[in-house]
Amino acid sequence: MSSSNTAPVNTIEHLCIIGVGLIGGSFARAVRQAGLVKRITGCGRNIENLKKALELGVIDDYSQDIKQAVKSADLIFIATPVGSFQSVLSQIKESMKEGVIITDGGSTKSSVIEAAKAVFNEVPVNFVPGHPIAGTENSGVEASFATLYQDHRVILTPLEQTNPDAINIVSQLWEAAGAKVVMMDAHHHDLVLAATSHLPHLLAFSLVNTLTTLDEKQEIFEYAAGGFRDFTRIASSDPAMWQDICLANKEALLEHLDHFCSDLKQLRSALQQGDGDFLRETFTRAKHSRDDFIANKNT
Amino acid sequence: MSSSNTAPVNTIEHLCIIGVGLIGGSFARAVRQAGLVKRITGCGRNIENLKKALELGVIDDYSQDIKQAVKSADLIFIATPVGSFQSVLSQIKESMKEGVIITDGGSTKSSVIEAAKAVFNEVPVNFVPGHPIAGTENSGVEASFATLYQDHRVILTPLEQTNPDAINIVSQLWEAAGAKVVMMDAHHHDLVLAATSHLPHLLAFSLVNTLTTLDEKQEIFEYAAGGFRDFTRIASSDPAMWQDICLANKEALLEHLDHFCSDLKQLRSALQQGDGDFLRETFTRAKHSRDDFIANKNT
């Protein structure tokens, strides 16, 4: 908990979570555990998941009627795949309370802001786009846990017109969940995350897919070890969610992908020509960066 | 220990480990723990590492004079980078005892067999090429531990002329280390491992290297999370070792790399065209394979 330096957050009377999966469910668990919310309503398309969320005490009630679900909410947290945002916002537009704060956990931010613009003409002043840099490859409410965000970053990408009080309340909820909140321009967020998250996911999915087409498929997986398990962990992520993220952040992702492919082509030439120095220098640069990254993470 | 079904292995009087790092050090620790060896001599170029190995009790003595080190050995385990094999074999050729068994832990097998052919004209009948499918991204004797091979596969790639007694002894040592021994043709081994290990390493090194060249480098690493940490773990591996492996298994690696790049190009087109179905189908195939892989590993 790092909110000790800031004014205590007022308790949220009624929180509505749209999409009670890993991200939404963990947010609900964390803010409830911090004692910052009185009632949590869940909303989503999968009734079994909502029943499970209720059973686990993650939510207090649920409604599959999204208009009904948000009607009396003071804060709405949207944690559905980013491709669904425009539809979600359209549906809640007429039902939500005056002054309600909206935030989200979407992995891409420009697309979410575009969706809000498309629905409301102007991005609502009480909409605080956000992205917690945390997750696992598992999905659904059963994968959620209260400490998912502990010591992780949450990037908020408010606009110039965004209400500072709304930013403050959303920040304090995340801090109560144990996260470190940072502000960033949405476009910049998308460029950084394309490199560090979206491109690795694309490559992991792509590699595993390629391996499934090989004649030696069976053995390949049989003789794969720990390095392969870790390298491909993110290929066990939710395909529909990642389809949305890739499309929502297409431009930045294509930019990084092309850069990567061009460098890989150079490495291929070096390999073919037996240029060991080039390989070793490339590997060494990568190892140093990666070792530094780990050292910095641990400090 | 799975050697209960087979005849008990005779104790090795004198084992010589050339290259006392993660692989060689862990082998030494494991066979000593199993009580299967009386004396272990270490040999390597890094004197500090050898002193450390002695201090840790991994070896009983060491010599940097490779001819001296192997002179009275009954079994020689070569655990140096695969690019050094021809030089190592040339140096031990005239000094080693008649009938000594030679085995290795190299990640590529055709190249090792070629090196033996180049030095001895014919691959010696007591040379049993091997590859333990285990490791971590750390190197040096301090990274070694006795249970590294526990429940892991060790692939042996003997030739037609290889002495069955030598195969048997090497197998029993690995089994005593807790490993499951399987036999495979060297060329086939190289093709399978190129897909499951060498290509992922090349991609991980390449991606991290590309990211270090971006303007947003600092932030990229700052906002990287667990998915990135795992995806890039193998990019912390030893660059010199991986330079050797890539060059030693160039043909198979290029074959898989080209296949991967061609599939990635298709995925890129789908992304650019906004073909969400293609993305989701690819991701779904990958997720299923990867989930199956994990389920099979846990059974």
Closest by CA position to A178, among listed A8, A81, A34, A279: A34
DSSP reduced 3-state for B149:
coil
- A7 band by pLDDT with thresholds 50, 70 and 90: low
Q: How far is A191 from chain B (nearest CA, A)?
A: 8
- B252 band by pLDDT with thresholds 50, 70 and 90: very high
Q: pLDDT of A87-134, one tens digit each?
A: 999 999 999 999 999 999 999 999 999 999 999 999 999 999 999 999
Please check whether residues A40 and A121 belong to one and the same domain: yes
Q: pLDDT of A45-87, one tens digit each?
A: 999 999 999 999 999 999 999 999 999 999 999 999 999 999 9
In degrees, to the nearest 5, what angle opens at C-alpha A15 toward C-alphas A14 and A20?
145
Please check whether residues B164 and B200 belong to one and the same domain: no
Please check whether residues A180 and A285 belong to one and the same domain: no
Predicted local distance difference test score (pLDDT) of residue B8:
59
Please check whether residues A85 and A208 belong to one and the same domain: no
Q: pLDDT of B152-176, one tens digit each?
A: 999 999 999 999 999 999 999 999 9
This prediction has a pTM of 0.86
Predicted local distance difference test score (pLDDT) of residue B216:
81
Which residues of chain B make contact with A247, given a CB cutoff of 8 A?
271, 274, 276, 279
Domain with A13 in it: what CATH number?
Answer: 3.40.50.720
DSSP state string for B253-288 = HHHHHHHHHHHHHHHHHHHHTT-HHHHHHHHHHHHH
Predicted local distance difference test score (pLDDT) of residue B163:
97
Are A178 and A149 spatial neighbours (Cβ–Cβ below 8 Å)? yes
Predicted local distance difference test score (pLDDT) of residue B260:
97
Cβ burial B145-161 (10 Å sphere, 16+ → b, else e): ebebbeebbbbbbbbee
Q: pLDDT of A127-152, one tens digit each?
A: 999 999 998 888 899 999 999 999 99
Q: Best of B133, B152, B205, B209 to disrupt the A interface by mutation (most A CBs within 10 Å)?
A: B209
Domain ends where: B164, B184, B204? B184
Q: Best of B196, B251, B259, B262 to disrupt the A interface by mutation (most A CBs within 10 Å)?
A: B196
Please check whether residues A196 and A179 belong to one and the same domain: no
Please check whether residues A163 and A205 belong to one and the same domain: no
Please check whether residues A174 and A194 belong to one and the same domain: no
Q: pLDDT of A17-28, one tens digit each?
A: 999 999 999 999
Please check whether residues B20 and B122 belong to one and the same domain: yes
Asked if A228 and B200 come within 8 Å (Cβ–Cβ), the reply is: yes
Rounded to whole angstroms, how far apart are CA atoms B144 and B40?
15
Which residues of chain B make contact with A156, given a CB cutoff of 8 A?
none
Q: How far is A14 from chain B (nearest CA, A)?
A: 31
Asked if A263 and B210 come within 8 Å (Cβ–Cβ), the reply is: yes
Predicted local distance difference test score (pLDDT) of residue A133:
93
Q: Is the pLDDT of residue A230 over 80?
A: yes
Domain span at B66: 3-184
Asked if A219 and B283 come within 8 Å (Cβ–Cβ), the reply is: no
Q: How far is B103 from chain A (nearest CA, A)?
A: 20
Helix intervals (H) in A134-238: 164-176, 186-193, 199-212, 217-222, 226-231
Find the CB nearest A221 among B237, B247, B293: B293
Which residues of chain A make contact with B210, given a CB cutoff of 8 A?
256, 259-260, 263-264
Please check whether residues B206 and B179 belong to one and the same domain: no
- B138 band by pLDDT with thresholds 50, 70 and 90: confident
Give the largest Cα separation in chain B, rounded: 67
Which residues of chain B make contact with A244, given a CB cutoff of 8 A?
276
Predicted local distance difference test score (pLDDT) of residue B137:
82
The mean per-residue pLDDT over the stretch B81-94 comes to: 96
CA-nearest residue to B154 within chain A is: A223
- B299 band by pLDDT with thresholds 50, 70 and 90: low
Q: What is the number of domains present in chain B?
A: 2
Find the CB nearest B233 among A230, A244, A250: A230
Predicted local distance difference test score (pLDDT) of residue B4:
43
The mean per-residue pLDDT over the stretch A7-16 comes to: 83
Rounded to whole angstroms, how far apart are CA atoms A162 and A165?
9
Q: Is the pLDDT of residue A243 over 50?
A: yes
Are A15 and A77 spatial neighbours (Cβ–Cβ below 8 Å)? yes
Closest by CA position to B237, among listed A159, A279, A220, A251: A279
Find the CB nearest B283 among A223, A243, A259: A243
Beta strands in B118-229 (DSSP E): 127-128, 130-132, 153-156, 180-183
The mean per-residue pLDDT over the stretch A15-40 comes to: 97
The mean per-residue pLDDT over the stretch A275-293 comes to: 96
Domain with A289 in it: what CATH number?
Answer: 1.10.3660.10
Rounded to whole angstroms, how far apart are CA atoms A88 and A85?
5
The mean per-residue pLDDT over the stretch B96-108 comes to: 96
Q: pLDDT of A162-193, one tens digit each?
A: 999 999 999 999 999 999 999 999 999 999 99
Predicted local distance difference test score (pLDDT) of residue B1:
39
- The position carrying tokens 């060491």 is B62
Q: How far is A105 from chain B (nearest CA, A)?
A: 15
Q: pLDDT of B16-27, one tens digit each?
A: 999 999 999 999
Predicted local distance difference test score (pLDDT) of residue B3:
42
Please check whether residues A96 and A202 belong to one and the same domain: no
Domain ends where: B165, B184, B203? B184
Please check whether residues A19 and A121 belong to one and the same domain: yes
DSSP A73: -
Q: Is the pLDDT of residue A4 over 50?
A: no
Beta-carbon pairs below 8 A across chains A and B: 307
Which residues of chain A make contact with B213, given a CB cutoff of 8 A?
259, 263
Please check whether residues A29 and A174 belong to one and the same domain: yes
Domain ends where: A139, A159, A185? A185
